[in-house]
Amino acid sequence: MYELYGEEILKSEEVVTSVQIAIVRTHYGFVKQCNVISDTATEKIYQWQIFDVEQQKYINDPTNNTVVNIDGVDYTPVNGRIVINKT
């Protein structure tokens, strides 16, 4: 199960020990993050994504055009997507 905690997504798991039942929460990611969605020999594609709590997964966020710094270079996404050609 995933939970929102501020701007973070936490993954919660129930752990049963001989003494008690505990809930262990670990960092899973952020609500919004720029993820690699494709990496080929010719290009690398990044996409802004947002975590959908109901679907329990990241979905594309085409409205986010926040500048992203990748390897020291600022890129402005178009429809939430950055395409970097490998040359």
The mean per-residue pLDDT over the stretch 66-73 comes to 94
* Mean pLDDT, rounded, of the chain: 91
Where does the pLDDT of residue 30 fall: very low under 50, low under 70, confident under 90, or very high at 90 and above?
confident
Does residue 34 have a pLDDT over 90?
yes
Q: Does residue 4 or residue 68 have the better pLDDT?
A: 68
Q: Can you tell me the distance from the alpha carbon of 40 to that of 83, in angstroms, rounded to the nearest whole number? A: 11
Lookup: tokens for 64: 């986010």
Where does the pLDDT of residue 28 fall: very low under 50, low under 70, confident under 90, or very high at 90 and above?
confident
The DSSP code sequence of 22-38 is EEEEEEEEESEEEEEEE
Per-residue b or e along 43-67, where b marks 16 or more CB atoms closer than 10 Å to that residue's CB: eeebbbbebeeeeeebeebeebeee
> CA dist 45 to 38, 42, 63, 78, 84, Å?
5, 10, 16, 12, 6
